[in-house]
Chain A
Amino acid sequence: MHAVLRGSAQTLFERSENFFDASFGGADNPLRHLGALGLFCLWILVATGLYLYTVLDTSIEGVYSSIDWLSHEQWYLGGVLRSLHRYASDAFVLVMILHLLREWAYGRYHGFRFYSWITGVPLIWLAYVSGIGGYWITWDRLAQFSAIATTELLDWLPIFSEPSARNFLTPDSISDRFFTVLVFIHIGVPLMLILGLWAHVNRISRVDYLPSRRVMLGTLASFLILAAITPALSDAPADLALVPAEIRLDWFILFLHPLTDITSPAAVWSLIFGATILLFVLPFLPHPAAAPIAVVDPANCNGCSRCHVDCPYEAITMAPHPDKPNHRIAIVDADHCAACGICAGACPSSTPFRSQETLVTGIDMPQQPVDVLRRQLEARVARLSGRTKLVVFGCDKGADVTALNSADTATLSLICTGMLPPSFIEYALRSGVDGIVVTGCRDGGCDFRLGMEWTRERLARSREPRLRSLVPLDRLQLAPASRHDGMQLAAAVSAFRTRLENQTAANTRPPAFSRRKIHHG
């Protein structure tokens, strides 16, 4: 049941992301960068909040009038910043929930991602505490409604000796000190949220603290247009002697209040605690066994640290080599390792041109060693026939490349495309292949975060290990394709083949190469 639900959600996300790609492209697709987009909203909240704090008067009368003054007297600055503060908070909640659902849908909550998932759960509580408390500071009818509804909900829990809702019983129940404490909480809780976010991203490298510039501009423009069309305004001042009539409710943050009214505090707390426990328990549910992690071969590790630099999860550290004085060796942290193989693709020893009968590299994946890759490549290339022979390197998480297998097309599916050492492309071309197609997840959609990005840079010769200059780029086609892009990939391969066949320029094939013993059966 859970697997079916998750699979359907994953398909929905994938199709939505592919749809968004048509307009945004992978790098600027907000759906593919929800975490970074959430952080951008948080930075807007921090920046606008600092200004709002400077003008806030925390007396009972002043708190309402000082905020209302912003919207009416200083609408061009304070009013806009107030609107940005409100809409960025709503967007933060929306993006946070989408981020949670997306990571769940893609199954990114167990194994090596356990830590990131678990540290993310308390952040939801902190976000809502910040959001709900923030609405009280305006001390209008909405604030009054939320304050009473929240305290009535809290009073259902056996934590206060006196009902906390008594603090809002009559107009003379609250004092100036209440808003001072409230502002302190509204600053303190977001600081805890930022600290929690630091922990949340602690186990990944090259964190996207901000989305791309285009995404930031697009999001900011959306908020500014909203601020111009429907600026955030206060309701009438709070009056504890009256029940607020019609409330312009923020459904992103305050939806718990009507939910409590139509159900009960017991039902709402059951929902809140139930959902929290479910999120905590989710990683402990039965899952397929984790894939074997990367293994370092001390004899072949030269301590170059390329694997350490390229690892998307900071799973590799460098330590003094036990056998080679003044050398270092890669050490794999089993808890952090995603078993993506990107490290094997980064290792300079992973070149198939080495004459060893059994290719042993510095860091390798037990489930798909580079030696097996070389054997498979040699065997499949040897079987190719036809006018234009192609090899397609793909990725288990992207479009299924095995569907492209034919007499003139050999395929090899890797754990992640980032596992492909560029030397394999040169090796295939020099073994008689006419063209190479490299596919993998779409831009921004790599299941292991950086696989396609590193591949693109390695093939563009801007990242080690680089594709050597003797490899003609016109015989290489990079064609990102997600799980549902099988037909598009087939079309791209077909178009590439046609282009190669129509290519009238001088033969750009690199010099032939034949390893001493090429057939291994």
Chain B
Amino acid sequence: MAKPVAIVGQIILYGAFAAFIGYFATAPTYKQIADDVALIKLSMSHLGGRECRKRTPEELAKLPPNMRAPLDCPRGRSDIKLLLELDGKPMFETVMHPTGLSKDGVSTVYKRFEVKAGTYKLAVKMNANLVLNHDFNFVKEAQVTLKPAEILVIDFNPDRGGLFFQSAEKK
């Protein structure tokens, strides 16, 4: 039978164990961003363009009937150039490279930027085929108002007209 003093010791030590677990299970609280900050997430996954050549009738005739595709396309994809501007000033610029050993996969980017909540003129420009184009062939510009803690997503989806912004209010 344990002595009373030992029992008291056990209660204190188990209590300290419980307090330690209980405190660090939820505290101290953590703030990822300041109160007056919003987040812009630039995230895209897109196949770069490629330069295809139209096969001549002679070339097509030489091919087996089941392989007579009118276009001869290289496997590799072009890099994609991307520029993000905030209030007319460049905020981020990158060249996205295609994934895969044969450079035939999607080009991707995922970046997040913390900005003070407020109204900005936001522009994102993309050249999806550096072989064919010298200018940005996709451009999206808009005035956006970002509330504190709001996340604005910049993405690309051909079905949604190319580049688009998406924030708390779904568009």
Contacts and interface: CB of A to CB of B under 8 A. Distances in A.
A436 B166 CA distance: 83
Interface stretch (A249-257, A295-303, A395-403, A469-477): A249-257
Interface stretch (A115-123, A169-177, A314-322, A385-393): A169-177
A218 interface: yes
A222 B149 contact: no
Given A87-B25, A248-B26, A223 B31 contact: no
A222 B43 contact: no
B31 A247 contact: yes
B43 A20 contact: no
A290 interface: no
Contact of A243 (B6, B13, B32, B45): B32
Contact of A226 (B9, B12, B21, B109): B21
Contact of A161 (B99, B110, B149, B167): B99
A24 B147 CA distance: 56
Given A23-B9, A86-B25, A222 B18 contact: yes
A249 B100 contact: no
Nearest to B109: A163
A369 to B, nearest CB: 42
Interface residues of B, number: 47
Contact of B39 (A91, A155, A243): A243
B150 interface: yes
Given A22-B6, A163-B108, A242-B151, A258 B30 contact: yes
Contacts of B6: 22-25
Interface residues of A, number: 50
Contacts of A20: 13
Interface string A273-292: 00000000000000000000
Nearest to A243: B149
Nearest to A250: B25
Interface string B31-52: 1110101110101010000000
A172 B150 CA distance: 16
Interface string B7-25: 0111011110110111011
B32 A247 contact: yes
A247 B63 CA distance: 63
Contact of B108 (A145, A161, A257): A161
Nearest to B27: A248
B79 interface: no
B41 to A, nearest CB: 7
A244 interface: yes
Most buried by B among A25, A155, A230, A257: A230
Contacts of B106: 161-162
Contacts of A219: 14, 17
Contact of B21 (A91, A171, A172, A221): A91
Interface string A225-256: 11001101000000111111111111110000
Contacts of B149: 242-245
A463 B4 CA distance: 33
A257 B32 CA distance: 9
B29 interface: yes
A170 B151 CA distance: 9
A165 B29 CA distance: 23
Given A24-B10, A169-B41, A169-B155, A223 B18 contact: yes
A90 interface: yes
Contacts of B12: 23
B163 interface: no
A246 B31 contact: yes
Interface string B85-113: 00000000000000110000110111000
Contacts of B110: 152, 155, 163, 165-166
A26 to B, nearest CB: 12
Nearest to A246: B29
A256 B151 CA distance: 22
Contacts of A232: 25
A-B residue pairs, 10 tightest by C-beta = A23-B9, A241-B168, A163-B110, A222-B18, A248-B26, A249-B30, A251-B24, A246-B29, A243-B149, A226-B22
Interface of B: 2, 6, 8-10, 12-15, 17-18, 20-22, 24-33, 35, 37-39, 41, 43, 45, 99-100, 105-106, 108-110, 149-151, 153, 155, 166-168, 170
Given A170-B153, A226-B18, A249-B26, 17 more contacts: A22-B9, A25-B2, A86-B25, A87-B25, A161-B100, A161-B106, A166-B45, A169-B41, A222-B17, A225-B18, A240-B151, A241-B151, A245-B31, A245-B149, A247-B30, A249-B27, A249-B28
